């Protein structure tokens, strides 16, 4: 399952970043997913939720942004969106000399740590010291 291995890799990366950041929770993870990466966003969201269980990411929200695939013709320099299924013939000169510029990326674009709950330092419940009445010696 392609999406599961991606989800696990994302969780792994975020976990590694969470430790040095001292994060205790993750609110939101944003991914850039190229349209040619072969990822089904719904399947990824499902796998992500499973992969997060029991980690610092538990309950984190995932959003994915689709990055359109673009190619450049090495013959004439034309740049076009390849679409899906990818069109790799140059619309300018008709050559099959496409160089893929984008569309295969799979990267974490943003991680938002969960805000730490503002817990005031617990006040010590020491027995109230009974002040000795001043002046009575
Ligand atoms: Zn061309």
7 and 47 Cβ atoms separated by less than 8 Å: yes
pLDDT confidence of residue 84: 84
Q: Is 92 within a domain?
A: no
Q: Is 122 within a domain?
A: no
pLDDT band for 125, please (50, 70, 90 cuts).
Answer: low
Q: Please tell me the distance between residue 68's alpha carbon and the centre of ligand 1 in angstroms.
A: 19
Q: Is 59 within a domain?
A: yes
Q: Is 90 within a domain?
A: no
pLDDT confidence of residue 130: 62
81 and 70 Cβ atoms separated by less than 8 Å: yes
Q: Please tell me the distance between residue 89's alpha carbon and the centre of ligand 1 in angstroms.
A: 8
Q: Please tell me the distance between residue 95's alpha carbon and the centre of ligand 1 in angstroms.
A: 6
Q: Is 39 within a domain?
A: yes
Residue 115 has pLDDT above 60, yes or no: yes
Q: Which domain holds residue 45?
A: 2-69+103-113
Domains in the chain, number: 1
* Binding site members for Zn(2+): 73, 76, 90, 93
* Domain CATH code at residue 30: 3.30.2320.50
Question: What are the structure tokens assigned to 99, written together?
Answer: 């160089």
Q: Please tell me the distance between residue 72's alpha carbon and the centre of ligand 1 in angstroms.
A: 8
Q: Please tell me the distance between residue 90's alpha carbon and the centre of ligand 1 in angstroms.
A: 5
What are the pLDDT digits (tens) for 50-105? 999 999 999 999 999 999 999 999 999 999 999 988 999 999 999 999 999 999 99
Q: Write down the mean pLDDT value for the chain.
A: 89
* Binding site members for Ni(2+): 2
Q: Is 8 within a domain?
A: yes
In this structure, the chain runs to a length of 137
Top pLDDT among 129 and 20 is at 20
């Amino acid at each position: 399952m392609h999406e599961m291995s991606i989800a696990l890799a994302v969780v792994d990366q975020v976990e590694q970043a969470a430790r040095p950041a001292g994060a205790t929770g993750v609110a939101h993870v944003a991914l850039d997913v190229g349209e040619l990466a072969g990822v089904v966003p719904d399947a990824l969201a499902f796998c992500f939720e499973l992969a997060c269980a029991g980690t610092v990411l538990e309950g984190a929200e995932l959003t994915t942004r689709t990055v359109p695939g673009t190619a450049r013709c090495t013959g004439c320099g034309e740049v076009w969106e390849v679409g899906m299924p990818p069109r790799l013939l140059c619309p300018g000169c008709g050559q099959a000399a496409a160089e893929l510029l984008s569309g295969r990326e799979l990267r974490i674009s943003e991680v938002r740590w969960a805000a730490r709950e503002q817990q005031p330092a617990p006040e010590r419940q020491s027995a109230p010291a009974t002040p000795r009445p001043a002046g009575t010696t």
